[in-house]
A and B are shown apart, each in its own frame.
Chain A
């Protein structure tokens, strides 16, 4: 076996947490992007600013705020546990939540740009051909914005893999539960004689990043061919 148990656990957790983070945040990013790109309402600038907060706040602060609201003894966290049976503090779901929140603005920005770049004329054409609003969203807007959606998801996924501050603050550094690759590297460096381990984990992170880049490029080409660009 090429990887030790700690290493493969950290790798698997990183992939799982990032996947869940991106997938869970995507519908919200899509809805928010559509709202910001297509409608005008009072306080839009404020909403826009708030949605981008995770990008500008220090991740440790985000982690701290999450701990203060979603901890099992805090009001929101207690409600989630009691009514949905969902515990976020100190487990991988909390890590995914933190990563999803931190990388939400990446998805939002990419999708919003894609939506703003769409030709409104196509929507008019679809309207004269009998397509209602939902129909136009599904048959035109979504497929044409797909390159933007994919690009946003890939950027968010890559950023999630590297997320450190918010995760360690909110859900701590528990091997096999919340210890992703960056956290494992940190732990190895804290252990006397762990430099070799840290180097192996860093190399693993680099390989993962390169594979990710290649897949992203392939996905982008595939999607663009699909929509005739």
Chain B
């Protein structure tokens, strides 16, 4: 499965000139600040907006090609689109909303698939209700199910959490994770929230002022110091894959990753389970010698891979821990005192570890 997008369109205020490729199923975050043109790109892929020039290929189908005068209407593109405001049909029950695209799909999924999606997204209780009787989070789940059941070859999620409050976000995020891990479907996740990218994305396309300024695997880009600068955010730290090695008797769970092990409070996950680990840059301290008596459970031997002055008071240090890159945010004062330079050996003291599914 490959998705190739090249777009050019001149607006009054800015020029959209974006090109990117998605090679694998999973979630590709279309990430950038508001006004970067993310939603315009998403609309163009779905056929809801027609750019002046460009070419969009989904798998083996050319859905748009300005040179060849090809522009399939949205209904023939087979792209599931989850809108920020859900856009459920108010006069239909949840069940009929779910069946709307399902009935119209060229290769209709069976009843068993319908039942599976309903179960996957926890929609059993909602089927008979009208959209007006649903909470914001429930609406999002129904919109997601409706798009999935139309048998799309690509799913676009356009800021699906932006309209929800923090509690609703926390409620819906695990469903997205389930979907990502369940479906062999490429997904484009439009967002301006770095924490959503950190939690969900397999790949990132960074958009600024209508242009793609960075693209690559999430595990490579997120700890990249230059990426943080381009994205205009504080560096997130590191995101990488790990698996449960063992549950220890002292209440800790040992996680193995490419480059070492981490100890975290007991996790409710089976041995061998794959997880996604985040180390926030603020939660990583540096020491030139291995500290002796210290409460932190995780002290990782690393090598300084890169340094970058972040602002007036802070500097970011990228560290190689085996094959894994992590980032520490320290003060410029400490940075000067420790005389940190690339190639130097350093111990990273990790104060806390965030564990997400997969």
Contact = CB atoms under 8 A, between A and B. Distances in A.
Interface of A: 119, 121-122, 124-132, 135, 139-140, 143-144, 226-229
Interface string B31-48: 000000000000000111
Contact of B91 (A121, A127, A129, A228): A228
B131 A228 contact: yes
Question: Interface on chain A toward B: helix, strand, loop, or mixed SS?
Answer: helix
Interface stretch (B13-21, B99-107, B116-124, B195-203): B99-107
Contacts of B101: 128-130
Given A226-B91, A227-B91, A228-B132, A130 B105 contact: yes
A126 B100 contact: yes
Most buried by B among A122, A127, A226: A127
A229 to B, nearest CB: 7
B263 interface: no
B90 A227 contact: yes
A125 B91 contact: no
Contacts of B73: 127
Interface of B: 46-48, 73-75, 77-81, 83, 85, 87, 89-92, 100-101, 104-106, 130-132, 146-147, 150
Most buried by A among B74, B131, B132, B146: B74
Given A128-B79, A144-B90, 10 more contacts: A119-B87, A122-B90, A127-B74, A128-B46, A128-B47, A128-B77, A130-B104, A131-B104, A228-B92, A229-B90
A129 B92 CA distance: 15
Nearest to B76: A130
Given A127-B74, A132-B75, A121 B90 contact: no
Nearest to B106: A130
A130 B153 CA distance: 13
B75 A127 contact: yes
A190 B164 CA distance: 70
Contacts of A143: 91
A130 B150 contact: yes
Contacts of B83: 121, 124-125
A141 to B, nearest CB: 11
